[in-house]
Amino acid sequence: MKNSSPYSKIIAGTMTWGSWGKKLATQEMIALMHFCLEQGITTFDHADIYGGYTNEIDFGNAYSASGIDRDHVQLISKCGIQYVCDARENQIKHYDYSKAYIVWSAEESLRKLKTDYLDIFLLHRPSPLMEPEEIAEAISQLMAEGKIKHFGVSNFTPSQIAMLEKVLRVEANQVEFSLSADEVMYDGTLDDSIAHKRMAMSWSPLGSYFKEENERTQRIKMALKPMNEKYGASDDQLLLAWILKHPVKVYPVVGTTTKSRLSDAIKATELEMALEDWFILLEANQGHKVP
């Protein structure tokens, strides 16, 4: 699958690189960054809250010591979630999209990641109290100052994006999308990305397949079995190939730190799944024929 975008077709998700997962040491992070680049994975996805607001610091320290040219990587981060953890004096999880907080959060991400700009800056989750004009003021300031290149959202519905777009262009939406989490194909989310030429990213692109053992995963496993040999591909590669076939041209955010699985993910972008095989997997997931 040819990719003319400045972002790598597979995006490295960093949520589990630090304290929320593998607790990689600085040298381990450096080695993983270099490995990703060798595979053609040049885009790294962050959020301020990952690791209880510590992941960006750990990644930034590793990146600054890695010798990697900033022009060779793309950095994405998100803001807005006020998380209850040691780093913040929050009584309850909530969202803050005031102009001052958005600007401060972006500048904190830059400081921690040791970079002058973010390639994409996302609002992490929608808040009922969002004020489009105030958000637009913050994003316009950050863009004018060269601190962010592009603006997007994560987990937003088409109507929430339409509200923002009265005053601000939304260039990307990162949502949950996988074979086992296919709601965005039917609720207008992916349609919106296609219609408005938004970059669509998928978090948790393998869905629940490797996390659950139930009738649905058994059906999917049986459907995948003959495809393993047909395509010479593993289950995770076929699950990625399934979402990659969608015309939204999604960018999967792959959260593994296992090198072989990262390599497999890149190889999955070369798979072209047959039309009927795509629907065989859809039926296996949903448990019924398409209407």
| Cβ atoms of 32 and 17 closer than 8 Å | yes
| One-character DSSP codes across 218-276 | HHHHHHHHHHHHHHT--HHHHHHHHHHTSTT--EEEE----HHHHHHHHHHTT----HH
Burial class (CB in 10 A: 0-12, 13-18, 19+), 219: middle
Catalytic residues: 50
Q: Give the integer Cα–Cα distance in Å for 132 and 170.
A: 11
Q: Give the integer Cα–Cα distance in Å for 118 and 251.
A: 18
Q: Give the integer Cα–Cα distance in Å for 270 and 241.
A: 8
| Cβ atoms of 83 and 93 closer than 8 Å | yes
Axis crossing angle, helix 259-268 with helix 235-244, rounded to the nearest 10: 40
